[in-house]
Structure 1
Amino acid sequence: MAEAGRITIKVRLRDKHSALLNRQAAAVNLVWNYCNEISRKAWSRDRRWLSKFDIAKLTAGSSAELGLHSHTIMRTSHEFAKSRDKAKRAGLRWRSRKSLGWVPFNTGHAQVISAGQIKFKGVIFEAMHWRDELQPGVKIGAGSFNCDARGRWYFNAPIEVGCDEPTARPAVGIDLGLKDLATLSDGGKIEAPRLYRASEAALATSQRARKAPKRIRNIHAKIANRRKDHLHKASAAIAKKYGTIVVGDVSAKRLAQTKMAKSVNDAGWSMLRDMLSYKALRHGGRYIVANERMSTQTCSECGSIPPSRPKGIAGLGIRGWECSDCGTVHDRDVNAARNILRVGLDALAEGAGA
């Protein structure tokens, strides 16, 4: 095995642990809200900005009374301070009973003791589904127990995993899109399943009929699970086949503020990129994000930006075009993927030569 890498894993826990975790999550909310209260008061009264160490001191010693690990209390106070500093506000939103359950822990405080069993704070939690990477002795980083909208609890944490030795495999450029989720530089395409679009009718019916919120949450959860499953399979196939993966830097966040928001969010670009990054590492490959500016309008054969290129909003509907300089006929997305690959490999070569 090559040098170790880090991946984040998520496993669902058995429902019998829900009562305990719900109690701990309520205690975490109490700690968070106390941090919020003292931070607001310190700023309102003395114009004093409490540091994470100040807040940690004020929450110390409450472990036994709250039924929480002392490091969970410390992590909660640190996460509060981090979020508050990022927001640049003395106070944040309060955590209520409606807030999704969250019980954080620090590095080294959760251990895998056997297949399907995780020990934390003297309690052995059993998982419904297991990951092969979770072996006894694996190094588990700072993570958390999290509850979803359906009341299901999960264990989430980064772990160290061994990576495959690098092997000679081809490089690929990837152009992310909406018609096809991903187009590869070798001509391959991964379809966009449009899961949210396919479920819109069921969602609309439930909302019009004022069905129980639980049913609506279940529909959204099924959409998310199916999307994640599709992306896992697609990213795993790419990471196994290609040694160097170059993906365009299209901004999902920026496009999510346009009329394409629903389609962009349904595609799951950010999730796919995250999966490709750690799976490429796991399989001994490289993952590169490349500037995709002008990738659609540049001829990947001769490198020119010809007059016949697709331009502007009107050009979005053009799926194929011919370069007026060299005569090459292009599939719009394959051409973009080839240009993305070239930019990524050029950047890699420049880095190696530096």
Structure 2
Amino acid sequence: MKLVYRYRVKSLAGLLNKQARTVNFVWNYCNDRQKDALRFGRRWHTGFDLIKLTTGCSKELGLHSGTVNDVCQQYAKSRSGSRRPCLRYRGRKSLGWVPLKGEEVNERFTTQICSNCGAVADSRPKGIADLGSLFTEHAKEWRCCDCGAVHDRDLNAALNILRRGRATLAVGIADV
């Protein structure tokens, strides 16, 4: 089962707005290639064709290559579902969506690290044996030995993953 999470993320010093404008640039490039295909009587580009055309542009644009590929795939999918031969151009203010892909957040030990102080506590749950034979509310709680905070295992992991994701996002986005 593949889980998809959708978040509304606050822009970090305008970086997401810049990234959204760059995504719009890629979308408009795909639209231009479709117009060229119509003008010269060629077949429509598939998502794979558009990906081949945009190969190597990710570093120059400041986007991850997975993001560029997703924009190309989404353009081809949207175009095939539309009755119009070409889609509308996305302007500067059109900040519809930005696929945030790239380096994934490492989820290792996120349930075992204290989200309050960052210490790997001795009283953390260690594997299935420490969760108890029955899944009760108390089996999912543990206390940090360093700061004394009581953690729910799932909530603690979510906070740690969020912190790692924000750190990855802040470091991974280049100025455009």
What is the TM-score normalised by the length of structure 1?
A: 0.30
1:116 equivalent in alignment to 2:111: no
Q: Does the 8 Å CA contact 1:69/1:121 hold for their aligned counterparts? A: no
Residue identity matched to 1:86: G
Deviation of 1:123 after TM superposition, in Å, equals 2.7
Deviation string 1:291-326 (CA, Å, 9 cap, x unpaired) is xxxxxxxxxxxxxxxxxxxxxxxxxxxxxxxxxxxx
Between 1 and 2, higher relative CO (CA 8 Å, sep ≥ 6) is seen in 2
Query: Could you say which residue in structure 2 is the equivalent of 1:96?
Result: 91
Aligned to 2:112: none
Residue 84 of structure 1: CA displacement? 0.3
**Any gaps of 5 or more consecutive residues in structure 1?**
126-354
Indicate conservation of the 8 Å contact 2:21/2:95, yes or no. Answer: no
Correspondence 1:313-324 to 2 at 5 A: none
- 2:5 is matched with 9
Equivalent residue of 1:27, what SS?
helix
CA RMSD of aligned residues (A): 2.7
Tell me the secondary structure at the aligned position of residue 98 of structure 2. strand
1:77-96 equivalences in 2 (<5 Å): 77-96=72-91
**Structure 1 residue 45: deviation in Å?**
1.2
Q: Give 1:83 shift.
A: 0.3
Question: 1:109 touches 1:120 (CA, 8 Å); kept in 2?
Answer: no
Deviations 1:62-117 (A, max 9, x none): 011100001100110010000001114331011111212422145x7432662432
Letter in 2 for 1:111: V
Q: How does 1:25-64 map to 2 (within 5 A)?
A: 25-64=20-59
**In structure 2, what is the equivalent of residue 24 of structure 1?**
19
Query: CA–CA distance in 2 between the matches of 1:29 and 1:93?
Result: 11
Equivalenced residues, count: 119
Partner of 2:62: 67
Question: Residue 25 and residue 94 in structure 1: after superposition, are their counterparts in 2 closer, same or farther (change >3 A)?
Answer: same
**What are structure 2's unaligned runs of at least 5 residues?**
108-159, 172-176
Match of 1:262 in 2: none
SS in 1 for 2:99: strand
The percent of aligned pairs where both chains have the same amino acid is 41
1:22–1:101: 8 Å Cα contact kept in structure 2?
Answer: no
Instruction: State the 1:49 CA deviation.
Output: 1.4
Shift of 1:18: 4.9
The 1:23–1:51 alpha-carbon spacing in structure 2 relative to 1, beyond 3 Å, is same
Q: Matched residues in 2 for 1:124 and 1:98: separation?
A: 23
Structure 1 segments, 4+ long, off by >4 Å, are 5-8
Separation in structure 2 between the aligned mates of residue 118 and residue 84 of structure 1, nearest angstrom: 36
Q: Distance in 1 between matches of 2:70 and 2:47?
A: 10
Distance across 2 between alignment mates of 1:40 and 1:18: 35
The offset of 1:6, in angstroms, is 5.2
Distance change >3 Å, CA 123–CA 77, structure 1 → 2: same
**TM-fit CA distance, 1:51:** 1.4
SS at match of 2:94: coil
Residue matched to 1:244 = none
SS of the residue aligned with 2:87? coil
Which of these two proteins has the greater Rg computed from alpha carbons?
Answer: 1
* CA–CA distance in structure 1, aligned partners of residues 167 and 22 of structure 2: 15
The separation in 2 between residues aligned to 1:121 and 1:86, in whole angstroms, is 37
After superposition, the Cα gap between the structure-2 partners of 1:34 and 1:124, relative to the gap in structure 1 and judged at 3 Å, is: same
Give 3-state SS (helix, strand or coil) of 1:13's partner. Answer: coil
